[in-house]
Amino acid sequence: MDLSFLTVQVLSALRQAAFLFLISSGLTLIFGVLNILNFAHGALYMLGAYFVYALTLHLTGPAGFLIAILAAPLGVALIATVIETGLLRRIYMQEEIYQLLLTYALVLIIDDLAKIVFGPEFKSIPMPGMLSGSVTLFGGTVPVYTLLVVVLAPAVALILWYLLYRTKTGKVVRATSSDREMADALGINMSALFTLVFAFGAVLAGLGGALAGPVRTVFPGVGTEVIIESFVVVVIGGLGNLWGALIGSILIGSLETIGIIVFPEFEMSLIYLLMVAVLVVRPWGLFGRPLKVKALSEKNLAMEAQEISPVHFSVHPLVRWAPLLLLLLVPLFAGRFYQYLLTQIFIASLMAIAFNLLLGTTGLLSFGQAAFFGVGAYTVGLLLTKGGFGTLPALLLAPVVTAVVAGVIGFFCVRLSGVHFAMLTLAFGQLIFTVAYKWYGLTGGDNGIQGIPVKTIPLGGLGALDLGSNRAMYYFVLAVVWLSVELLRRFRSSPFGATLKAIRENGQRASFLGVNIHLYRWTAFVVAGAFTGLAGGLFAMMEKSISPEIIHWSKSSEPVFMTIIGGIYTFAGPAVGAVVYVILNSYLVAWTEKWALVLGLVLLTLVLLLPGGVVGFVNEKARQTLGKLRCIRKWSFSKSATS
Amino acid sequence: MVLLEVRNVVKSFGGLRALQDVSLSVAKGEIRAVIGPNGAGKSTFFNVMTGLLKPDSGDVVFEGEPITGMPPHRIIRKGIGRSFQITNIFPRMSVFENVQVALFSHHRTGNNPLSLARKSTRVGEEALALLDQVGLAEKYDSSASVLSHGDQKRLEIAISLASRPKLLMLDEPTAGMSRFESRETVALLQRISREQGLTLIFTEHDMDIVFAISEKIMVLQQGAVIADGTPAEIKANPEVRKAYLGEEITES
């Protein structure tokens, strides 16, 4: 390895680190003060790049370029201020998942708006002549722009250090970051501080986008790639810790550069592997500390009571069986398209209900469910195409294999909670995704598996079950899903389920009842994983072709949506959410290209106005009105309970 | 008979010695107070005994068996219950469910994922009996988060009692209560201890309560035991007077 090569690579790594630092420093700052993991941070980065693009169309020359680079972050800050004061502020009292979801809805909305305003194509931003050249350094050719970025980022870091450690406002920010309650008690104006920090974090993201725009391309959705990388950086460094963001950026920047040279196939796997390794050894990141356990002071309890109430009437069994009867009759008058649509809904429902065993019942937000769905689907796909298995054995092995995988992953994840849990499941999920995506020998890589042969299922002396027709598949999936859902319902209504709820409500108290909370969480994780794997297996049978996209993290957000749409603290909610989601998806995609925008707006509305979800809302109303009439109450509801 | 024996426990946080060589011996059925000014190490001491913290050195022995450094959920199973200074319940579950879930854990029925919670009549009756004992039976159906502070504290005591502890550790059981609520709670604790032979260790700021119900009192100051004895001995102890109690004693 000669010096010129080394110089080029080191500078390339540093440039990468510089971009990462600009984005993740803002991300970590916002988390530290607002306690929100801002999914929309990547979208703000994208806006920074687009603003530079738009400005350089009108402003030419080096001076115009400089003005654009400086003005773009301010524009981003303006948008961020509107977001914080208009939307985020309204849900600070909610559980953290709602804040995460609101920012995720913003990603969908901003991405589609960018597509409308700037068009769907890739944009490149021209650099002024004096910056587009390159110089020779130690025999290696280095672009001038790289040098500029590598010098600018540390300068920004220095300014950041000065602002945080040498100014009064900076001290307030740090104090709030380390102890929010204390800062509140000291009479710091929290809402002004939150707006300031959110806008400032947006400036950093905007600057990152503005600087990266000219060397990377800009397109709608570019922020989504960036945000995942930044999540990795801040989680490795320790959420809320600026040093962590710096070291994390350098680590990831270097690893990416080395990865491209040494293991070009598995560059992305390496990053997630590092994240998993760090979190397994140091769950709070390299420089992070455990987040303070929310003390349940009286004030806090009163706040919780105003939130979504999990108290509800459980529905009379007869009411529960009516839909099944209806669904059994549907194929008699509905066509093949509707049968296919409903089959999709069944599978989505199973995935969402299994997911909600973790979120609603246990209080754990998993962002890696797509991985379990994928493991189940690939198990069936591989066993049928390469293993020569029968259909039923292959399908039955799907939840078994997934349970084993979930058991291993869960072992590491269940020690964490909240955002850390979400991030570790995300990392494991992406690790599995990158493996499926690149391991051509086994999984077919990005081609996936096509033409999965679904053989007839022998029924002993009763002949055989042929799943060739849509109708047969419809009934088969309905039977499997209904059985699984009934099992999951039983699971949740059992003493085990009650204990999971107790863990969600107050983990510390639960452990002082003698409950091994890690074991309980782990079991819930494995059960949720197994049923998600079964859903995946059904999916592979129905579609007869699978591709790694079903494992990508964006697929993991689907059960989250469904659950929020339907109702987090209801059992049937996720299934209702699945109906809404799948129908919206099938019709909107045909009707408009702006599917993400509509979905984002739906999600935003729900989070802000109907956080209990559709079923939660109906339940609440039913409890208020129907509950008064004794005869109806007696017939349609059994005793009140919480979920 | 000695139920709990703590021997020479030391615990430091960084440079700060929170507990220095603390020893304690509690007999079965005894009501023991642990007092001391703020920051004396009472909560640390409780946390060490119930497994939330691991001592740097020293032993905690319960019924002749060392439990030092065991995780809380195992210590609870040995028969030590705990209630907390800050109300520590399951806020968004009903009063009934709060106790029910504690009973599931005690009877180990929580491990069975396929039985139905509401079908367990034995647990249901037991839960109602416990709620009756603390005077919350009528409110069994309301959400725990809407209870008054005093009721929440009582609910927490019911939760702690559900695991049928031999020893109950209460961290300021009357904190934040009105005078009336405090008196009721104290009477309740005394009654339970008498009826069931339950051993109590508690911390408390209200000296009236401490001297009214405890049989022995341990005084901590800056992490060290400065006195340990009967209420009369503690009242007479000049060091305690000087260090902590002073006027309050002379008043009463």
Q: What digits encode the pLDDT tens for the residues B17-69?
A: 888 889 999 998 889 999 888 778 888 888 888 888 888 999 999 998 999 88
Amino acid B40: pLDDT:
82
Instruction: Please indicate, yes or no, whether residues B188 and B160 belong to a single structural domain of this protein.
Output: no
pLDDT 10s digits, B136-167:
888 888 888 888 888 888 898 899 888 888 99
Mean per-residue pLDDT for B111-117?
70
Please indicate whether, in this complex, the C-beta atoms of A296 and B87 are within 8 angstroms of each other: yes
Amino acid B61: pLDDT:
92
Please indicate whether, in this complex, the C-beta atoms of A499 and B105 are within 8 angstroms of each other: yes
Please indicate whether, in this complex, the C-beta atoms of B118 and A639 are within 8 angstroms of each other: yes
pLDDT tier at A630 (50, 70, 90 boundaries)? low
Amino acid A639: pLDDT:
47
Q: Which of B164, B192, B220 is the last residue of a domain?
A: B164
Amino acid A291: pLDDT:
61
Which residue numbers of A have CB closer than 8 Å to B's CBs?
295-298, 301-302, 304-305, 309-311, 490-491, 493-499, 501-502, 505-506, 508-517, 520, 523, 527, 639-642
pLDDT 10s digits, B4-16:
999 899 988 877 7
Instruction: Please indicate, yes or no, whether residues A409 and A524 belong to a single structural domain of this protein.
Output: yes
**Mean of the per-residue pLDDT values for chain B?**
84
d(CA A152, CA A215): 15
Instruction: Please indicate, yes or no, whether residues B113 and B151 belong to a single structural domain of this protein.
Output: yes
From the candidates A484, A486, A494, A504, which should be mutated to test the interface with B, based on the most B CB atoms within 10 A? A494
Chain B: closest CA distance from residue A355 (Å): 17
Instruction: Please indicate, yes or no, whether residues B64 and B182 belong to a single structural domain of this protein.
Output: yes
Which one of A298, A491, A498 has the shortest CB-CB distance to B104? Answer: A498
Name the residue range of residue A185's domain. 3-231
Instruction: Please indicate, yes or no, whether residues B36 and B24 belong to a single structural domain of this protein.
Output: yes
CATH number at residue A383: 1.10.3470
Q: Which of B164, B199, B218 is the last residue of a domain?
A: B164
What is the radius of gyration, based on Cα positions, of chain B?
19
Mean per-residue pLDDT for A74-96?
88
Mean per-residue pLDDT for A161-187?
79
Residue B249, domain member (yes or no) = yes
Q: Is the pLDDT of residue B223 over 70?
A: yes
Instruction: Please indicate, yes or no, whether residues B63 and B182 belong to a single structural domain of this protein.
Output: yes
Please indicate whether, in this complex, the C-beta atoms of A506 and B163 are within 8 angstroms of each other: no
pLDDT tier at B192 (50, 70, 90 boundaries)? confident
Residue A287, domain member (yes or no) = no
**Mean of the per-residue pLDDT values for chain A?**
85
Instruction: Count structural domains, chain B.
Output: 2
Q: Which helix (H) or strand (E) holds B207?
A: helix B207-213
Amino acid A179: pLDDT:
72
With the CA atoms of B163, B167, B171 and B174 taken in that order, what torsion angle do they form, in degrees rounded to the nearest 10? 80
Instruction: Please indicate, yes or no, whether residues A88 and A217 belong to a single structural domain of this protein.
Output: yes
Instruction: Please indicate, yes or no, whether residues B126 and B244 belong to a single structural domain of this protein.
Output: no
Please indicate whether, in this complex, the C-beta atoms of B143 and A309 are within 8 angstroms of each other: yes
d(CA B48, CA B42): 10
Instruction: Please indicate, yes or no, whether residues B8 and B72 belong to a single structural domain of this protein.
Output: yes
Out of A557-561, B5-9, B248-252, least confident range:
B248-252
Q: Is the pLDDT of residue A475 over 50?
A: yes
- Residues from chain B contacting residue A515 (CB–CB below 8 Å): 73, 105, 110
Please indicate whether, in this complex, the C-beta atoms of A309 and B120 are within 8 angstroms of each other: no
Amino acid A541: pLDDT:
93
Segment 204-223 of chain B within 8 Å of chain A by CB: none
Q: Which of A201, A231, A261 is the last residue of a domain?
A: A231
Q: Is the pLDDT of residue A306 over 70?
A: no
Mean per-residue pLDDT for B210-229?
88
Segment 163-182 of chain B within 8 Å of chain A by CB: 163, 176
Instruction: Please indicate, yes or no, whether residues B158 and B181 belong to a single structural domain of this protein.
Output: no
Residue B84, domain member (yes or no) = no
Can you tell me whether residue A142 is helix, strand or coil?
strand
Mean per-residue pLDDT for B105-118?
73
Amino acid A294: pLDDT:
42
Q: Is the pLDDT of residue B183 over 70?
A: yes
Amino acid A628: pLDDT:
65
Amino acid A52: pLDDT:
92
Amino acid A103: pLDDT:
92
Chain B: closest CA distance from residue A541 (Å): 29
Amino acid A300: pLDDT:
34
- Residues from chain B contacting residue A526 (CB–CB below 8 Å): none
Amino acid B244: pLDDT:
64
Q: Is A201 exposed, middle or buried (0-12, 13-18, 19+ CB in 10 A)?
A: buried
Amino acid A83: pLDDT:
93
- Give the pair of three-digit tokens for residue A556: 């993991």
Residue A280, domain member (yes or no) = no
Instruction: Please indicate, yes or no, whether residues B157 and B187 belong to a single structural domain of this protein.
Output: no
Residue A268, domain member (yes or no) = no
Contact (Cβ atoms closer than 8 angstroms) between residue A160 and residue A25:
yes
pLDDT tier at B208 (50, 70, 90 boundaries)? confident
Q: Which residues pair with B227 in a beta bridge?
A: B219
- Provide the edge-to-edge strand list for the sheet that holds B80-83: B80-83, B167-171, B199-203, B31-35, B216-221, B224-229
Q: Is the pLDDT of residue A631 over 80?
A: no
- Residues from chain B contacting residue A304 (CB–CB below 8 Å): 91-92, 145
Q: Is the pLDDT of residue B250 over 70?
A: no
Please indicate whether, in this complex, the C-beta atoms of A311 and B94 are within 8 angstroms of each other: yes
Instruction: Please indicate, yes or no, whether residues B36 and B148 belong to a single structural domain of this protein.
Output: no
Q: Does the interface ipTM go beyond 0.85?
A: no
Q: Which of A209, A231, A253 is the last residue of a domain?
A: A231
From the candidates A362, A512, A571, A637, which should be mutated to test the interface with B, based on the most B CB atoms within 10 A? A512
d(CA B72, CA B51): 5
Q: Which of B141, B164, B187 is the last residue of a domain?
A: B164
Amino acid A378: pLDDT:
95
Mean per-residue pLDDT for A2-24?
88
Q: Is the pLDDT of residue A71 over 90?
A: yes
Amino acid A358: pLDDT:
94
Instruction: Please indicate, yes or no, whether residues B148 and B23 belong to a single structural domain of this protein.
Output: no
Give A326 or A634, the one with higher predicted confidence: A326
On whether any CB of chain A is under 8 Å from the CB of B149, the answer is: yes
Instruction: Please indicate, yes or no, whether residues B68 and B121 belong to a single structural domain of this protein.
Output: no
Please indicate whether, in this complex, the C-beta atoms of A513 and B163 are within 8 angstroms of each other: yes
Among the ranges A144-148, A523-527, B130-134, which has the highest mean pLDDT value? A523-527
Amino acid A309: pLDDT:
60
Mean per-residue pLDDT for A420-446?
88
Residue A325, domain member (yes or no) = no
> B57-62 and B2-13: which strand pairing?
antiparallel
Residue B142, domain member (yes or no) = yes
Please indicate whether, in this complex, the C-beta atoms of B115 and A494 are within 8 angstroms of each other: yes
Instruction: Count structural domains, chain A.
Output: 2
Whole-Å CA distances, A449 to A385, A388, A540: 8, 14, 9
pLDDT tier at A304 (50, 70, 90 boundaries)? very low
Amino acid B71: pLDDT:
87
Can you tell me whether residue B128 is helix, strand or coil?
helix
Q: Which helix (H) or strand (E) holds B225?
A: strand B224-229
Residue A588, domain member (yes or no) = yes
Chain A: closest CA distance from residue B101 (Å): 6
Can you tell me whether residue B18 is helix, strand or coil?
strand
From the candidates B93, B95, B126, which should be mutated to test the interface with A, based on the most A CB atoms within 10 A? B93
Q: Which of A216, A231, A246 is the last residue of a domain?
A: A231
Instruction: Please indicate, yes or no, whether residues A103 and A216 belong to a single structural domain of this protein.
Output: yes
Q: Is the pLDDT of residue A635 over 60?
A: no
Instruction: Please indicate, yes or no, whether residues A546 and A404 belong to a single structural domain of this protein.
Output: yes
Q: Is the pLDDT of residue A591 over 90?
A: no
Which one of B72, B81, B115 has the shortest CB-CB distance to A511? Answer: B72
Amino acid B1: pLDDT:
80
Which one of A298, A498, A506 has the shortest CB-CB distance to B88? Answer: A506
CATH number at residue B5: 3.40.50.300
pLDDT 10s digits, A279-300:
888 888 888 777 654 433 333 3
Instruction: Please indicate, yes or no, whether residues A223 and A340 belong to a single structural domain of this protein.
Output: no
- Residues from chain A contacting residue B104 (CB–CB below 8 Å): 495, 498-499
Residue A241, domain member (yes or no) = no
Q: Is the pLDDT of residue A600 over 80?
A: yes
> A311-315 and A134-137: which strand pairing?
unpaired
* DSSP string across A503-555: HHH-HHHHHTTT--HHHHHHHHHHHHHHHHHHHHHHHHHHHS-B-GGGGSHHH
Name the residue range of residue B111's domain. 89-164
Residue A282, domain member (yes or no) = no
Residue B220, domain member (yes or no) = yes
Instruction: Please indicate, yes or no, whether residues A370 and A478 belong to a single structural domain of this protein.
Output: yes
d(CA A433, CA A550): 9
Residue A380, domain member (yes or no) = yes
pTM for this one? 0.88
Mean per-residue pLDDT for A213-230?
87
List the single residue in A with minimal CA-CA distance to B162. A513
